Amino acid sequence: MFAPFSLSAVLPALRAGEMLLMACGASKDQGGAERLAAVIRPEALPMNGLPVGTMLGTENGPLLKVEGRAFWPGWERAVFLARAVSDIPEGTYALNAERVGCALAVITLSDKGFAGLREDESGPALLDRTRGELLLCHERRFLLPDEPARLRALVLELAGQGYDLVISTGGTGLSPRDLTPEALIPVLDRRLPGFEQAMMAASLQKTPRAVLSRALAGTVGQTLLFALPGSRRAALENLDAVLEALPHALEKLGGDMSDCGRA
């Protein structure tokens, strides 16, 4: 759940599409950092900072969209990466922060894909299918080799940036390089066996070989995580098995206290 709030920020002159760093407080380094970053009053930010997909604007319309976070020498507090959605004159602004919809990251795990030897078909298909079911405020795709440490680090970073939903594809079989579950299970706060059972049941209706799949579902903080098979068809079959439940699951994970039952 994201409660709108207001903040004050000193912004440099920007053209639409340009990126900037938004930092809390003052820089310890009086050099280039101050020229690159907007300054936000530290007390203006809530505990979860500015999650990706947050829109910052005035009564005249949006000015900035938060697209991530960065680490910048000299800043003691969080630094957020934002993109100007319109031209911005230099000045001090009273900004309203709003976030409508979910932030989605899709990660494709493929040694050949990462090396440029195979086109990624699963990632774009999963993004398109999810986009048709959920209102998205931000979306991003990643392509990684089958390396557990890199996947684990990326998932933790995405959760820290405020992504609501992270879907990986690849690495859930029995080949020697299929290590996605081994990479992700240690960082999960909770497994979601109902989602996993639904995906397995849907796959078994297509092929008895589905028993080899180790598709995974769980949570990392307030991020809902799925690890799906690598083939486009299998990945979509697994996603379709749980897609209808995603909006409600995200609401509950975000703090919705209403009853789950239907009249």
Q: What is the pTM of this model?
A: 0.91
Please tell me what DSSP assigns to residue 208. G
pLDDT of residue 1: 67
Residue 8 is inside which H or E element, if any?
Answer: strand 5-11
pLDDT of residue 69: 87
Mean pLDDT of residues grouped by 10 in the chain (263 residues)? 83 91 65 56 70 95 93 73 94 93 97 94 97 95 96 96 97 95 97 98 95 97 97 97 96 78 53
pLDDT of residue 45: 72
Best CA proximity match to 169, nearest among 237, 238, 109, 103: 109
Report yes or no: 110 and 145 within 8 Å, Cβ to Cβ: yes
pLDDT of residue 33: 47
User: What's the order of all strands across the beta sheet hosting 223-228?
Assistant: 136-144, 102-109, 165-169, 223-228, 216-220, 190-191
pLDDT of residue 98: 94
Give the chain's domains with CATH numbers: 5-98 (2.40.33), 102-253 (3.40.980.10)
Compute the distance between CA of residue 54 and CA of residue 217 in angstroms, rounded to an integer. Answer: 26
